[in-house]
Structure 1
């Protein structure tokens, strides 16, 4: 019996490059190989498809080794005028069929994806033309009668419908945030104003999220031009008042496509001139330009692109001739599909609405979270609260804010948002120093608008942290202090210890009437081990720290045949280990949810030895700190070193508290802002109720959810400090496929 011919598929990158494209290419190649396919990379995009020859190359497993951390696209991208012609597209079909390729993964923006959809629709006609011209035989024409296409969106602007995030957008936001943080420090030193232009011709995502992350004082984006024609006066007055209140610097963020309500462009240099003429301040312009496209991809862009690349191959292999081309995207950590051309049309509709000066429609089409983020930013940018204390529609309330557990990047961001939103509505906020111990000791101090200046970007926890869970007489002292300070609501930003402490207060309401106030828990822990939220504040920052450290480790390791065992935090939760391994390309990941046996370790060292003998230079193992009490990192290193003998060396790297340090990532700043807004709304709404709720908040399935605190025990694992529901555990098989090389690829 004749063996069935292998399925052959191609992958190309087109249009502007974006960080994370290489991760997607790697995932497509390795998933295809693991499924028994032949995978071809089409170099230089559509132009390479037309040129053929060496521009279409068969890929092996190792062909995409060592590219996960690289920016840009290793298979190249180019604009192709010839692909716009029918003759050019016919030649592209001929070159693909020469390799038997009639399944494609196209990674690019709306122009590239539109071209892919049109190419697919013409494919049967072009195949027929080639057959009639005698350039392909009948068997080839019948076997490749249809073209299956899947699109992955590569665009740093994050301007494409059908996905929450496009490949490269998170990395670009990292570049912007790093630049804004650096600019702020020098601006404050000289009391200067900086105008920073970011990319975004028809989309203000990078400007908006960069302004939130960087604590900007004014913003210009295409979807929401200034309301008034004399926007210059409004901007200058706001920045003037900010300086009078003690702000040492001013930061204006402007999207490259910004304009007024009549469509007249607003440029960075124009804003600079307005500020210098009206405020007499030393003003500088920084245009970030292509620095936003460059550099290494973020952890998110690595693992997200890997997931959608894997899914793209699965989708292609199941495609039928009648199937409509799809976009593979992501919505709140879940892979989604959507019709390609529908997404293209919706994307272009936003640009058309902006061009028609229909800004309300353009803003609505960006989605509810975009508009909500913009409204929040407008409040945070104010130089003063809009409502003086005591003049609001409701009685002034007093809220207390504290941290619990270990420090987590993004805690300060959440406090800043909660304080300013509360004070903006005429309420008082007390910061509690040193967690619940500070609430026991009565260590509370009032916070005002300017007291949180600069907190948006700061790592650590300015209020201090403590793992104290109050017991016995300490509960009585807390009740006394709540009554003494007249506290109407409590916001805890922290980890499981904080959740448990709040649950203790809730369960003691019968004995202590002072605890009958609204209590809200905001998840902030790098371990990501809290129920009710798919991601906790700080987990993304920790993951980026891990990936950055592993990148450095890999650079040192490839100089010799070496295995590195990297230990990461997480306690009883394997999130950091699994996602860190997926984002860094680890060959083996040890999780506390799975455990590890001596047999596992022996199998792993045998596999490492096999590949090192065949030329492998680096093996990366990621281990959670609590995976096993006996098989510690030191034990593993000793075992691997003994069994590896002269074949390879072994080193260990215990990352430790470096994972908790540093400035919060843009994602954590944005997530902290979004959650803090809801927490303040909750406290204000519940404060006047007779039996107010105690709850915890999170984002699940793309939606903000609030759960009753009394549900905490049943949502947690009875024996381990982790939730029963862990969405990332569904990614274990994908991680294994991308890291385990088939034996016949040696």
Structure 2
């Protein structure tokens, strides 16, 4: 039985954390972030096991937890404290028992991670709290002094839902991991489907939300998608089959249709995967199979995003609930535009429930509006990319010629970007050209036309099919580049790449007065695992690199499971510490070394003392992540040797330089969707410029969740040129989160604890 503390003697706040409803990958990261942040801030923390049922039952269902109780859980799917759809909590009698169990432990602050049903139950509990305690006091279950000491229940909600159905935030806990599961399955299905020239119908979760279906269709390069918010018009079967037929004629060897489980037609009749299969077989005479992914979408290890974002959300929820007063408004804490967003709890729940209500009454325009502008935009982009176009040009009008060029370091997702550019450009009536081998290839005239079918299958392929070079054009290259642009009749240039790509485009822009061929519209799209480009908070390839880091560190941690060991892991990034910080947050690193902060001898002395004391206290594993340029003197090898020497046989020290595995592999679903979204805006900008006779040079990027364009003229002012990184880096605000979840507070909570596993 847990020790029940005396609430009258407690000098600190007491909070509890529970997970409820369906499980979602990343819930453990959120629990860990909330628990460790609360402990870091001096609170006492309890975990409620088996959701609201554990709160109703009390006893072992509510246990005080310490720092190490939430160690080594970031990589685990599901929820370590269990979940349950409690019928008892839906009744007032159950909530009365729950209130008694909380207040007897001095708990009046509660963090709940769950869906809209769990959060609405939480808000009802908060509203009823004063009345529940009054009844408990009247019946003698608790004394009046205890009731008076806890007049209100302070709460914070986090949404754990793979459907990503909360209106008002960008992503819910688990949605990115579920998208990984789906896209992995689509990639596998695509290979066997192409081998047999077969069609597949894949059903994914999403009763009232088409996020998973739509984004997996885009990321998987699929042919047709059916979602609840945007039912197809009458006769959709003919249109679908016509699109599949034209796709085959354009060179596709396979056809994949994605169906959300809640898909329906405009009369409200369900559209099942079986019906779609039968339609394709009957009308196209194609061998068609159905795959229903089901609960595999909930399972498996969380993605890098669901680790770092959920940790951040748990941290923010703990801060929110500990700062709350009885008069505070209850909030759902989410992420919007790479920032923490707090939405009034019941407003968030009510707006989320408006979507299925709009669907049920046939108001699909309202359902799409509630989902947001980017959801509507991507629905249209998918339609344009999946259907082979028949461009309609005015009589006598020649198509404009748009060239695509990669430059800089390789970033996963470049092929996705090129495919999107080709198909969207052709859809708008342009002739699309591919430049082989970056700026040197452009100089040498390696420019060729790309058709709709030429880029088939590029969505999921890592690397860069067009080739890539880091070379920035020299002064002596400019004349040859100008002649090549004229010879290939290039009317606009789309540059996808890293800092060298941006420098090369900027040089052409600077020299346009001397070289008439450079007086064309130019748009740069950010693609760099370093995430160090101006005008965008995220670059294509960064998420894939983070997932590679997390996967590698998971294996490193597992290799150390039988030893007492310290690892120093080096990541890429040059002078930008994004990969190191976010990789450290996602993998549970105890220490992150950044160039932005530097490393001092005092820092290293503190680190040595910390390692010694933690391993003396029973720690088994310590992880430090170092950005490759964190310090010119204190290298990864130096740090490993220093920590080893000073450990005095308390632990072994190993180092791992992850290197180019961070650039390899197939792009993650996030990077595929991001590439498509950024390129769609870039192609639109070029199309507008060509129509208006403009010749602007611009940078496209994602800023605060929105895609925007920045004039090329501002490029240098946005950069710290000495270190090749943006002057303003949003992710640096997460440094306090890393410290809060990696530095145990003194003193450690009393009571028996298992030896620390770290992380």
Q: Does the pair score TM above 0.5?
A: yes
Give me the whole-angstrom Cα distance separating, in 1, the residues matched to 2:329 and 2:740: 27
Q: Secondary structure at the match of 1:94?
A: helix
Give the alignment of 1:622-701 within 5 angstroms: 622-689=625-692, 692-701=695-704
The equivalent position to 1:297 in structure 2, one of 294, 302, 308, is 302
Which of residues 370, 386, 391 in structure 2 aligns to 1:387?
A: 391
Shift in Å at residue 709 of structure 1?
0.9
- Counterpart selection for 2:88 from 69, 78, 82: 82
Counterpart pick for 1:339 among 319, 338, 344 = 344
Match of 2:421 in 1: 418
Shift of 1:319: 1.2
Match of 1:11 in 2: 17
CA contact (8 A) 1:22 1:74 kept: yes
Q: Does 1:276 align with 2:273?
A: no
Runs of 4+ in 1 over 3 A off after TM superposition: 390-395, 688-691
What is the DSSP-based 3-state SS (H/G/I as helix, E as strand, rest coil) of the residue aligned with 2:201?
strand
Structure 1 position 44, deviation (Å): 0.4
Q: Answer whether contact 2:277 2:289 (CA < 8 A) is retained.
A: yes
Mean Cα displacement is larger for which, 444-453 or 685-694? 685-694
Residue matched to 1:600: 603
Answer whether contact 1:392 1:426 (CA < 8 A) is retained. no
Q: Within the alignment, does 1:177 sit opposite 2:183 as a pair?
A: yes
CA shift digits 1:289-324 (9 cap, x unpaired): 000000111111111111111111111122122222
Shift of 1:362: 0.9
- Partners of 1:391 and 1:220 lie apart in 2 by 33
Measure, in 2, the Cα distance between the counterparts of 1:246 and 1:637.
53
- Offset at 1:645? 2.3
Deviation of residue 211 (structure 1)? 0.2
Note if contact 2:434-2:450 (Cα within 8 Å) is conserved in structure 1: yes
Query: Counterpart of 2:752?
Result: none
d(CA) in 1 for partners of 2:323, 2:606: 33
- Post-superposition shift, 1:273? 1.2
In 2, the alpha carbon distance for the partners of 1:250 and 1:313 equals 47
- Matched-pair contact (CA < 8 Å) for 1:578–1:589: yes
Q: For this pair of structures, how many residues does the alignment match?
A: 742
Query: Are 1:478 and 2:486 counterparts?
Result: no
Q: Does 1:105 align with 2:108?
A: no
The answer for the alignment partner of 2:754 in structure 1 is: none
Describe the SS at the equivalent of 1:431: strand
CA distance in 2, matches of 1:320, 1:610: 37
SS of match in other structure, 2:662: helix
TM-score w.r.t. length of structure 2: 0.96
Q: Structure 1: how far apart are the matches of 2:580 and 2:704?
A: 22
Q: 1:275 offset after TM fit, Å?
A: 1.3
Q: Is the 8 A contact 2:227 2:264 kept in 1?
A: yes
**Match of residue 156, structure 2, among 129, 150, 156:** 150
Using the size of structure 1 for normalisation, the TM-score is 0.98
Q: How does 1:326-725 map to 2 (within 5 A)?
A: 326-382=331-387, 384-387=388-391, 390-391=393-394, 395-689=398-692, 692-725=695-728
Q: Distance in 1 between matches of 2:729 and 2:9?
A: 42
1:425 CA drift (Å): 1.8
Contact 2:109 2:154 in 1 (8 A): yes
**Is the 2:27–2:79 contact (alpha carbons within 8 Å) kept by the matching residues of 1?**
yes
Which residue of structure 1 aligns with residue 745 of structure 2? 742
The 1-side partners of 2:233 and 2:320 are apart by: 46
- 1:699–1:705 CA contact under 8 A, matched in 2: yes
- Which of 302, 317, 320 in structure 1 is aligned with 2:322? 317
Q: Which residue of 1 aligns with 2:730?
A: 727
* Aligned partners of 1:162 and 1:327 also within 8 Å: no
TM-superposed CA distance for 1:561, in Å, is 0.1
Per-residue CA shift, 1:152-211, capped at 9, x if unaligned?
Answer: 001000011121110000110010111111110111111111110000001100000000
Deviation of 1:413 (Å):
0.8
How far 1:224 moved relative to its partner?
1.0
* 1:386 to partner: Cα distance: 2.8
Q: Report SS of the residue matched to 1:745.
A: coil
Q: Is the 8 A contact 1:196 1:251 kept in 2?
A: yes
* Secondary structure in structure 2 of the residue aligned to 1:179: helix
1:194 is the counterpart of 2:200: yes
Shift of 1:498: 0.6
CA contact under 8 A between 2:42 and 2:745: conserved in structure 1?
A: no
Alpha-carbon distance, 1:246 to partner = 2.0
Q: How many angstroms apart in 2 are the aligned matches of 1:585 and 1:742?
A: 17
Counterparts in 2 of 1:690 and 1:280: CA distance versus 1, 3 Å? closer
**Equivalent position SS for 2:665:** coil
1:619 deviates by 0.3
Change in CA separation of 1:183 and 1:601 when aligned onto 2, cut-off 3 Å: same
Consecutive unaligned residues of structure 2, counting only runs of 5 or more, are 1-7, 750-759
Considering only aligned residues, what root-mean-square deviation do their CA atoms show, in Å? 1.3
- Map 1:200-239; keep pairs closer than 5 Å: 200-228=206-234, 230-239=235-244
Counterpart of 2:649 in 1: which secondary structure? coil
Judged with a 3 Å threshold, the aligned counterparts in structure 2 of structure 1 residues 558 and 96 are, in CA distance, closer, same or farther, namely same
Q: 2-side partners of 1:393 and 1:69: how far apart?
A: 60
Deviations 1:622-646 (A, max 9, x none): 0111111221111111111111121
CA distance in structure 1 between the aligned counterparts of 2:589 and 2:403, rounded to whole angstroms: 43
Higher relative contact order (CA 8 A, sep 6+): 2
Q: Against the structure 1 CA distance between its residues 555 and 430, is the aligned structure 2 distance closer, same or farther, given a 3 Å change threshold?
A: same
1:351-401 CA-to-partner distances (Å, cap 9, x unmatched) read 00101111111111111111110001011111x21315x448965211111
Tell me, yes or no, if the aligned pair for 1:386 and 1:425 is still in contact at 8 Å: no
CA drift at 1:711: 1.2
The alignment status of 1:21 with 2:27, answered yes or no, reads: yes
